[in-house]
Amino acid sequence: MPASAAPSDEDLMLAYAAGDAAAFDALYARHKGGVYRYLLRQCRQGGVADEMFQDVWMNLIRARASYAPTAKFTTWLYRIAHNRLIDHYRACGEVMLVSADDDAHADAVAAIPADRRDEPELRAGNHELGARLKSAVAALPAAQREAFLLQQEGGLSLAEIAELTGVGVETIKSRLRYALNKLRSDLSDLRERQR
């Protein structure tokens, strides 16, 4: 590996298991955003997502000594997150996974300074687009939404999503195809406006 190349996630996890705390910091920095968004969009409750997020990283810390790179690190990490979600829903008696609408973070996003070229109409349009997209993702059936979020937020491959969710690759392809078709259909009027 060239000296300038960043270490892989698997190498970092092995280094962390061997006692390198900086390796954990690097893994956390790489994956904290995607894992948190995945949890938040599935449970819709910021406080619950925060708690599950902490549990995921604590589970990773507890499992470091037994970690073996038999799969891609992100598959292993999102398996921990997925299992934590399932535990949460079992404890709550909820059967379906749901998607978050992130309204709790709208003020923080709105406080980010805009580019001077951003016109109010463009910002309003972007806000509408974001709201429409969140609504369309939330309206997906749970299995399709989960596959879509694991691919988009986790960057997982079809095989990794299939392994994580316990279904075949063809089933994941089908779920993603149906999800994308439904999103395109639900948002088709936006394309017409752009023409």
Between residues 28 and 185, the one the model is more confident about: 28
At 135 the pLDDT is 80
Question: Which residues are CB-contacts of 80 (< 8 A; sequence separation ≥ 6)?
Answer: 56, 59, 60, 63
Which three-class secondary structure state does DSSP give residue 7? coil
Per the prediction, the chain carries an average pLDDT of 79
Q: How confident is the model at residue 142 (pLDDT cuts 50, 70, 90)?
A: confident
Q: How many CB atoms lie within 10 A of CB 187?
A: 14
At 173 the pLDDT is 92
Residues 95-120 have a mean pLDDT of 46
Q: How confident is the model at residue 57 (pLDDT cuts 50, 70, 90)?
A: very high
State whether the Cα torsion 35-38-42-48 is positive or negative: positive
Q: Is the pLDDT of residue 96 over 60?
A: no
At 102 the pLDDT is 47
Specify burial of residue 60 (Cβ count, 10 A radius: 0-12, 13-18, 19+): buried
Q: How confident is the model at residue 2 (pLDDT cuts 50, 70, 90)?
A: low
Residues 120-141 have a mean pLDDT of 70
Which H or E run includes 175? helix 169-186
The model carries a pTM of 0.59
